[in-house]
């Protein structure tokens, strides 16, 4: 006999909990849902666009009645629960319907607050909360000319904008002297007001309503100062209150909301609560992302998995008014111990303010261009030390990370539907917005899965997030506080690494068992990461799990679009000889290589080699003295050089030899991502060392070391690490830097984002300032190289991993 | 009629090697004049066979990472279900499935793809 699960409330947070639960444990419970509204579950966030005429009611239904039927859920719609009998474990609805429960979810949401002024109960005075309110507003817009919205917050302004779109003459009455005072500072609020006034909205503020007048129906609103405004419709949007009456009457501990713990249980452990009715660690939430996070944890607990914890959410806000870009998060007003960084260009309608405490962003307000909102929010959420970013922080991420493939694209609100967002997969704004609405998507991962936008190189992630925020408005925010490594686990990259070293875990299986992986053998995202972390943690001891490596690293060649491979032999420092070139030429002819190409890293690429031919071609290359160039791996790729003091009249040091020495020291090492290096012989920098992961520039007095550059998707100039005098010092610093990167970066994180995440100061402290720490890091790198510098090509040419390169059988 | 058909199909079964010839959580390729067939082995030692062409851009599925009863295409990381050949939602498409069975540690493959998938 299955346990009985009853849910009171049929809104987004509650139904999301059921969806998550059905995913985890489809057969655990008999489920009954009571909903006071006569509908299935709909997307309350999108009521504003319905009001404004951008969407229809059908567009915003999330779960129709068929969904409940398909999952065997009993739905009592239009039935309001009036009593919870905790002794008998039974809920009772207004019409006498009862349901017994073993576990109960309270998801009663919130109620709009109605100011009890005289006349507040007149017909034509409504809140802005549900489908019925929208229907009332639409009917009023057809029959009446004047509307008054009481409340100049997020909801009030969206209502006012919607009614104006429907042709009404709208006045907003607000008690404060600035709009959206809970999200905006005075400057941004002023810009918003000006922009809304230009569109035709009228504002009376600060102003307080004294009475609503009318006989039989609302006719006008009278303010405290005696002003009377005509009104065929009054919308009260002055705030919401968690709906706790039912819970309180049942003796469940409530304060402002129903008090829950980190597993969303109330003081009666059989009773859970999720959504806007909940108070968690003293905070109530009204945005969708935190509510969905609660739903996930609650479902996890109901499914008896018991590993999820809800630890609260940071939230950010956007306004869903077409053409207005506005962003707010955290302690935007500043206060004691904070400093403010402000960028203002009134002519262009731009305003940005960052509130900083102890070199960490704690709040942000943006108006006009909010594209960087997601970036600031990320820095804020991760508590990133921004001291290294200060000089350019206000100019946004694009200032030091030039995106390739997006041109001047900046303001998502102003973009046309045909603007291309994702240059890799050819996805336009219209496609993404349509998918968000039609497929009911709420997260970046959802959008990636459905549209492929930002799923390849990821450089348009910020734009996609901005589109999500813009489409879902105030209710989009990145709630998950910590980001799990992948869908197979709740643990982050850092937690997984700590578990590996802290508990002596020495195989992929052992890690998955110890950390209770949710899938039997992981996925294509986590297995390569785990394999890498184990390689770094246990050099010489861990046996590489080739089935957990991406094909390029399993086959030691780079897969091409037609399934053939490319072969790039190593040329130390990019220097070669006539004999080597002759050998390559002969091999290319012998194996009919279709394309021979010089790479960006000063190597020769043989393209179009069938997999079966690889061991033979490698054997010939090995005979000519070549080893693998690792052009296929998350590994040290190339050290690019110029000709240096040996030939160049400007050269200051023998930089070519330095490049060769660095490459001989580092080749064969597995890295979190590919690593490219370069050595230039003078500050003219012909080897382009300042856009490499590790770059060396020779000067008269020695060597300048630079780190964290990138010439790829996001062009980033290196940060200057330090100046050293001798070649030995260059090698030791290089080894120490690379080892720190190997030990601390997340798998698939290039040095550029890693340096930005942890901060240059953190790296300097270990690689430059602390000689002993540097020495230890370098020693660990050199130690691991003893096991890594085995040429994988020669091994395979001699017959290793033969199964990888031969068909199982040839038929016909 | 039914029996004759079955007999005719039975003759198509060919022995392609031992289960142990295929790495666990990996795949091997059977080359045929009609194109390559990928033969997968999962962690629980189940064996599956699919046309070695991802329904997305024709990537060789045999080169992908096998996890659970799925393979991730090496070109663009589409996930394909090994038991049905269908792309995992929200992606759409399929790779034709070939009957495969294991007897006494030997793997037998039929070269007649199951019906219903255009990507045969």
**Direct distance between the N- and C-terminal alpha carbons of chain B, in angstroms, rounded to an integer:** 25
Of A450, A522, A809, the CB nearest to B67: A522
CB-based contact B21 A803, cutoff 8 Å? yes
Fold for domain A316-475? Answer: Enolase-like; domain 1 (3.30.390)
Question: Is residue A550 less than 8 Å (CB to CB) from chain B?
Answer: yes
Q: Helix %, strand %, coil % for chain B, to 5?
A: 10, 40, 50
Spell out the residues 6+ positions from residue A695 whose beta carbon is closer than 8 angstroms to its own. A677, A678, A679, A680, A687, A688, A689, A705, A706, A707, A709, A718
Rounded to an integer, the average pLDDT of A89-107 is: 96
Rounded to an integer, the average pLDDT of A102-129 is: 93
Question: Is residue B21 less than 8 Å (CB to CB) from chain A?
Answer: yes
B36 vs A441 pLDDT, higher one: B36
pLDDT in tens, A563-582: 999 999 999 999 999 999 99
- How far apart are alpha carbons A579 and A320 in whole angstroms? 67
Burial of A769 (0-12, 13-18, 19+ CB in 10 A): exposed
Residues of B in contact with A422 (CB under 8 A): none
Query: How many angstroms away from the CA of B36 is the closest CA of chain A?
Result: 9
pLDDT band at residue A342 using 50, 70 and 90 as cut-offs: very high
User: What pLDDT is attached to residue A484?
Assistant: 86
Of B14, B68, B74, the CB nearest to A551: B74
**Domain boundaries A553-628, CATH class:** alpha beta
pLDDT in tens, A157-206: 989 999 998 999 999 999 999 999 888 999 999 999 999 999 999 999 99
Question: Is residue A138 less than 8 Å (CB to CB) from chain B?
Answer: no
DSSP-assigned states of every residue in A646-695: HH-TT--S-HHHHHHHHHHHHTT-B-SS-EEEEEESSTT-TT-GGGSSEE
pLDDT band at residue A280 using 50, 70 and 90 as cut-offs: very high
Strands A169-173 vs A146-150: parallel, antiparallel or unpaired: parallel
User: What pLDDT is attached to residue A7?
Assistant: 97
Question: Is residue A802 less than 8 Å (CB to CB) from chain B?
Answer: no
Q: Do domains A3-110+242-302 and A125-238 have the same CATH topology?
A: yes
Q: Which residues pair with A460 in a beta bridge?
A: none
- What's chain A's average pLDDT? 90
Residue A458 confidence (pLDDT) above 80: no
User: What pLDDT is attached to residue A480?
Assistant: 46
ipTM: 0.89
Contact criterion met (CB below 8 Å) for A164 and A340: no
| Answer CATH for A636-788 from 3.40.50.12780, 3.30.450.20, 3.30.413.10, 3.40.50.800 | 3.30.413.10
CB-based contact B57 A809, cutoff 8 Å? no
User: What pLDDT is attached to residue A405?
Assistant: 46
User: What pLDDT is attached to residue B6?
Assistant: 46
User: What pLDDT is attached to residue A459?
Assistant: 67
pLDDT in tens, A18-64: 998 998 888 999 999 999 988 888 888 778 878 888 778 787 888 88
pLDDT band at residue A473 using 50, 70 and 90 as cut-offs: low
User: What pLDDT is attached to residue A686?
Assistant: 94
Residues of B in contact with A449 (CB under 8 A): 90
CB-based contact B31 A809, cutoff 8 Å? yes
pLDDT band at residue A348 using 50, 70 and 90 as cut-offs: confident
Nearest alpha carbon to residue A98 among A107, A106, A89: A89
pLDDT in tens, B34-93: 899 999 999 999 999 999 999 999 999 999 999 999 999 999 899 999 999 999 988 889
Strands A41-42 vs A81-85: parallel, antiparallel or unpaired: unpaired
User: What pLDDT is attached to residue B7?
Assistant: 43
CB-based contact B43 A561, cutoff 8 Å? no
Fold for domain A125-238? Answer: FAD/NAD(P)-binding domain (3.50.50)
Q: Enumerate domains of chain B plus CATH numbers.
A: 14-110 (2.102.10.10)
Chain B nearest-CA residue for A526 = B67
A78's torsion region: left (phi>0), alpha (psi -120 to 50) or beta? left
pLDDT band at residue A73 using 50, 70 and 90 as cut-offs: very high
The domain limits of chain A are 3-110+242-302, 125-238, 316-475, 493-549, 553-628, 636-788
Rounded to an integer, the average pLDDT of A346-372 is: 89
Residue B11 confidence (pLDDT) above 60: no
- Tokens at residue A36, please? 């006071």
Query: How many angstroms away from the CA of B13 is the closest CA of chain A?
Result: 12
Strands A29-35 vs A3-8: parallel, antiparallel or unpaired: parallel
User: What pLDDT is attached to residue A411?
Assistant: 61
Chain A nearest-CA residue for B39 = A808
Spell out the residues 6+ positions from residue B17 whose beta carbon is closer than 8 angstroms to its own. A808, A809, B28, B106, B107
Of A413-417, A444-448, A735-739, the least confident: A413-417
Q: What dotted CATH number matches A3-110+242-302? A: 3.50.50.60
Backbone angles phi, psi at A463, to 5 degrees: -65, -40
């Amino acid at each position: 006999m299955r346990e009985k699960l009853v849910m009171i409330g049929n809104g987004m947070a509650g139904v999301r909990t059921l969806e998550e639960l059905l995913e985890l444990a489809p057969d655990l419970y008999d489920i009954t849902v009571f909903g006071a509204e006569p509908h299935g579950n709909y997307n309350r966030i999108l009521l504003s666009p319905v009001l404004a005429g951008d969407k229809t009611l059908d567009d915003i239904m999330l779960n129709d009645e068929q969904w409940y039927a398909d999952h065997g859920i009993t739905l009592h719609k239009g039935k309001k629960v009036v009593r919870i009998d905790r002794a008998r474990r039974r809920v009772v609805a207004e019409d006498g319907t009862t349901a017994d429960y073993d576990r109960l979810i309270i998801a009663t949401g919130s109620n709009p607050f109605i100011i009890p002024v005289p006349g507040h109960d007149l017909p034509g005075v409504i809140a802005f909360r549900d489908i019925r309110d929208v229907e009332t507003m639409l009917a009023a817009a057809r029959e009446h000319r004047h509307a008054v919205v009481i409340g100049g917050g997020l909801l009030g302004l969206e209502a006012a904008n919607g009614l104006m779109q429907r042709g009404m003459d709208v006045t907003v009455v607000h008690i404060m002297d600035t709009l959206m005072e809970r999200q905006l500072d005075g400057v941004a609020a002023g810009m918003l007001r000006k922009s809304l006034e230009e569109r035709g909205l009228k504002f009376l503020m600060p102003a307080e309503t004294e009475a609503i007048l009318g006989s039989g129906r609302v006719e006008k609103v009278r303010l405290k100062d005696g002003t009377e405004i005509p009104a065929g419709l009054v919308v009260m949007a002055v705030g919401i209150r968690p709906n706790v009456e039912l819970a309180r009457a049942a003796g469940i501990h409530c304060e402002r909301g129903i008090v829950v713990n980190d597993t969303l249980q109330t003081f009666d452990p059989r009773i859970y609560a999720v959504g806007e009715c909940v108070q968690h660690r003293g905070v109530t939430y009204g945005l969708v992302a935190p509510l969905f996070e609660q739903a996930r944890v609650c479902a996890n607990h109901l499914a008896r998995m018991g590993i999820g914890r809800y630890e609260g959410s940071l939230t950010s806000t956007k306004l869903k008014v077409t053409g207005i870009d506005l962003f707010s998060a955290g302690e935007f007003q500043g206060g004691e111990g904070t400093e403010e960084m402000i960028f203002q260009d009134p002519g262009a309608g731009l305003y940005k303010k960052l509130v900083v405490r102890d070199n960490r962003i704690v709040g942000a307000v943006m108006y006009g261009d909010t594209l960087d909102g997601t970036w600031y929010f990320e820095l804020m959420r991760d508590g990133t030390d921004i001291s290294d970013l200060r000089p350019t922080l206000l100019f946004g991420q694009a200032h030091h990370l030039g995106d390739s493939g997006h041109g001047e694209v900046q303001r998502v609100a102003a973009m046309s539907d045909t603007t291309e967002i994702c240059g890799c997969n050819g996805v336009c704004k219209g496609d993404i917005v349509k998918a968000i609405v039609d497929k009911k998507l709420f997260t970046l991962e959802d959008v990636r899965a459905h549209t492929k936008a930002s799923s390849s190189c990821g450089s348009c992630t910020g734009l996609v997030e901005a589109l999500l925020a813009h489409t879902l408005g105030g209710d989009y925010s990145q709630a998950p506080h910590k980001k799990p490594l992948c869908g197979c686990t709740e643990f982050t990259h850092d937690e997984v690494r700590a578990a590996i070293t802290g508990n002596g875990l020495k195989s992929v299986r052992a890690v998955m068992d110890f950390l209770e992986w949710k899938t039997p053998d992981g996925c294509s995202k986590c297995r390569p990461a785990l394999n890498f972390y184990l390689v770094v943690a246990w050099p010489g001891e861990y046996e590489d799990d080739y089935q957990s490596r991406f094909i390029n690293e399993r086959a030691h060649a780079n897969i091409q679009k037609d399934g053939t491979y490319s072969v790039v032999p190593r040329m130390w420092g990019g220097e070669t000889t006539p004999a080597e070139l002759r050998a390559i030429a002969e091999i290319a002819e012998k194996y009919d290589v279709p394309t021979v190409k010089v790479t960006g890293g000063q190597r020769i690429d043989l393209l179009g080699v069938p997999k079966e031919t690889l061991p033979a071609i490698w054997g010939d290359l090995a005979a000519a003295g070549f080893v693998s160039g690792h052009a296929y791996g998350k590994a040290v790729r190339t050290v690019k050089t110029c000709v240096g003091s040996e030939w160049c009249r400007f050269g200051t040091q023998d930089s070519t030899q330095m490049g060769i020495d660095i490459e001989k020291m580092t080749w064969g090492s597995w890295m979190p991502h590919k690593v490219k290096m370069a050595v230039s012989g003078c500050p003219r920098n012909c080897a382009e060392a300042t856009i490499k992961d590790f770059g060396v520039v020779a000067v008269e007095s020695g060597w300048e070391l630079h780190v964290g550059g990138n010439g790829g998707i996001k062009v980033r100039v290196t940060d200057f690490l330090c100046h050293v005098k001798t070649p030995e010092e260059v090698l030791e610093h290089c080894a120490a830097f690379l080892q720190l990167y190997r030990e601390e970066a997340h798998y698939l994180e290039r040095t550029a984002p890693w340096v930005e995440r942890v901060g240059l100061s953190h790296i300097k402290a270990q690689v430059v300032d602390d000689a002993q720490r540097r020495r230890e890091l370098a020693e660990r790198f050199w130690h691991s190289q003893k096991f890594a510098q085995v040429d994988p090509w020669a091994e395979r040419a001699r017959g290793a991993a033969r199964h990888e390169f031969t068909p199982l059988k040839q038929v016909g | 009629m039914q029996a004759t058909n079955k007999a005719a199909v039975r003759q198509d079964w060919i022995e392609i090697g031992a289960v142990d010839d295929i790495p666990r959580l990996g795949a091997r390729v059977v080359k045929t004049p009609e194109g390559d067939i990928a033969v997968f082995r999962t962690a629980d030692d189940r064996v599956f066979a699919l046309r070695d062409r991802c329904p997305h851009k024709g990537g060789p599925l045999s080169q992908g990472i096998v996890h659970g009863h799925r393979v991730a295409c090496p070109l663009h990381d589409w996930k394909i279900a090994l038991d049905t050949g269908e792309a995992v939602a929200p992606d759409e498409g399929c790779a034709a499935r070939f009957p495969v069975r294991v007897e006494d540690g030997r793997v037998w493959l039929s070269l007649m793809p199951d019906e219903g998938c255009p990507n045969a």
